[in-house]
A and B are shown apart, each in its own frame.
Chain A
Amino acid sequence: MRLLHPRVATVLGWLTLVSLVALALFGLWGAPPDEVQGDAQRLMYLHVPTAWLAYLAFFITALASALYLWPRTRAQTWDRMAGASAELGVLFTGLTLFVGSLWGRAVWGVWWAWDARLVTTAVLFFLYLGYLALRHTAADPVSGARRNAVAALIVFIDVPIVHFSVEWWRTLHQQATVFNPELSAEIGGVMAWTLWLGVLAFTLLYVYLLDRRYQLATLEDELDADGLDAAIVARIAEADGTPAPGRSEPPGGPMTTPVSAP
């Protein structure tokens, strides 16, 4: 039903909120502006954590998918976790691209740059958007889960290939693609602490949201199963000519397998 014990989740939720607020305080005010980039550098305290989450989330999706496919560990849990994590991944990848674009505009005057990391992140976004679209198509739980898991792994192993080929491509063009502000200048003192706070806060956020999203997925799956049972009962009753037991049609969720009338 849930990945975390409810009380643990509640505590985690509050911890997440507190650390995010602390991050905002330090990131926007407590930490000093950068020597070179000025206040624009404050976007780094968002961009690095969201980028970290984007890749973490997709790694978890791949891991969960592998665990589903491995016969000894096969369980519907992994499929739900893979889906929940991918949704978070798409969310944070989108935010990474957005904040990164703002940051690039502020510091280098461009909304976009064709360097390996940015392009790979953009491709990552679409890879997992496709995966989510596949998840939303109707299928029975078992074959659908297997299909999702294979798709996740196909997509996951592509990511390093994409990164490598784009990096190679860009170095060949000898552009000034040294766009690594977060890694270049030494960030000491308060700035470094704030960055680590950001990574921690967002990681807590990820775990908390993953648990909530997983819970929702479980509930909706059970609703669908109940809805299917009810619909079958109703159809049988119709066929027998007896009135169906008093149950209204359940709301359809995104994973409802359509049961059409004859």
Chain B
Amino acid sequence: MSVLADAGLVAAKDLRIEARSRVTLAQVLPFGIIVLLLFAFALDPDRGRLAAVAPGLFWVAVMLAALLAIGRSFAIEQLHGARDGLRLSGIDGAAVFLGKAAAIAAQLAVLEVLLGLGVAALYGVDVTSVVVLVAAGMAATAGLAATGTLFGVLAAGLRLRETLLPLLLLPVITPVMLGATRAFESGLGGDPAEGWPWIALLGAFAGLYLAVGVLAFGSLWEDA
């Protein structure tokens, strides 16, 4: 079967597990909203700062939530011999990578929409360009999912996974943080035209790490 079809199988499997366990919805999403609330407590809504920093806070909340989602994506493989089953299935490593990344991206997308609504409601932002927001969101999410899946497999199965994954992943995705925040600033009360160069950067980042993942994930997966 082709790589993409296999990737679809893997993604469907992960999403089906999520649909049944509802961990992302019931645990990761509330975590994200609590982070937004904490920021509000820290920054005092009455001083009118929140709207100005809303893009940055949104993406910080998304990144923290992504850590949980990625950890979860590999935690489910540790149970019931799932990892061995997946390896024995003969599915190509690249397909596993793309499938897992796609599932993570899908979950992140849902999180982002819901957290975005939360930000709009709690912090009070005005939207200048939905297109910029959607494009930036997609490109940033692709980059997050790709790097997250790569580091997720590196850290998978290690006793120190919970502390290692953030330390590994967060420094690497600083360009995503920069680009996504700047793009969102342009789309939320700024000049949308300024957002497109950043979206291009996000796209390049995502493309690069998707390529790395397709090439490298297979051998890492075998050893994990």
Contacts and interface: CB of A to CB of B under 8 A. Distances in A.
Given A134-B154, A147-B220, A166-B178, A154 B172 contact: yes
Interface stretch (A21-29, A55-63, A157-165, A228-236): A157-165
A150 B224 CA distance: 13
Interface stretch (A72-80, A105-113, A125-133): A125-133
Contacts of A212: none
A103 to B, nearest CB: 24
A78 to B, nearest CB: 16
Nearest to B178: A165
Interface stretch (B2-10, B38-46, B75-83, B160-168): B160-168
A150 B216 contact: yes
A123 B174 contact: yes
B201 interface: yes
B172 A127 contact: yes
A129 B170 CA distance: 12
Given A133-B164, A151-B154, A165 B179 contact: yes
A260 interface: no
Interface string A126-160: 11011101100111000100110011011101100
A14 interface: no
A58 B179 CA distance: 25
A134 B170 CA distance: 14
B167 to A, nearest CB: 4
A217 B56 CA distance: 42
Interface in B199-224: 201, 205, 208-209, 212, 216, 219-220, 222-223
A134 B171 CA distance: 14
Given A154-B150, A157-B212, A130 B182 contact: no
B223 A134 contact: no
A130 B160 contact: no
A169 interface: yes
B167 A126 contact: yes
Nearest to B194: A172
Interface in B165-189: 167-168, 170-172, 174-175, 178-179, 182
A134 B164 contact: yes
Contacts, number: 75
Contacts of A158: 171-172, 175
Interface residues of B, number: 30
B131 interface: no
Contact of A126 (B171, B178, B201): B171
A86 B167 CA distance: 16
B158 interface: yes
Contacts of B201: 164-165, 168
B146 to A, nearest CB: 10
Contacts of B179: 165
A165 B178 CA distance: 7
Contacts of B160: 133, 137
Contacts of B197: 168
A155 B178 contact: no
Contacts of B216: 150, 154
Given A150-B154, A151-B154, A154-B150, A137 B164 contact: yes
A137 B158 contact: yes
A4 to B, nearest CB: 32
B223 A147 contact: yes
B155 interface: yes
A164 B150 CA distance: 22
A169 B178 contact: yes
A258 to B, nearest CB: 10
B110 to A, nearest CB: 27
Q: Which 6 A-B pairs have the closest CB atoms?
A: A143-B223, A126-B171, A165-B175, A130-B168, A130-B167, A127-B171
Interface of B: 147, 150-151, 154-155, 158-160, 164, 167-168, 170-172, 174-175, 178-179, 182, 197, 201, 205, 208-209, 212, 216, 219-220, 222-223
Given A143-B222, A150-B220, A153-B212, 16 more contacts: A127-B172, A130-B168, A131-B168, A133-B167, A137-B158, A137-B160, A147-B223, A151-B154, A151-B168, A154-B150, A154-B212, A154-B216, A158-B172, A158-B175, A161-B205, A165-B178
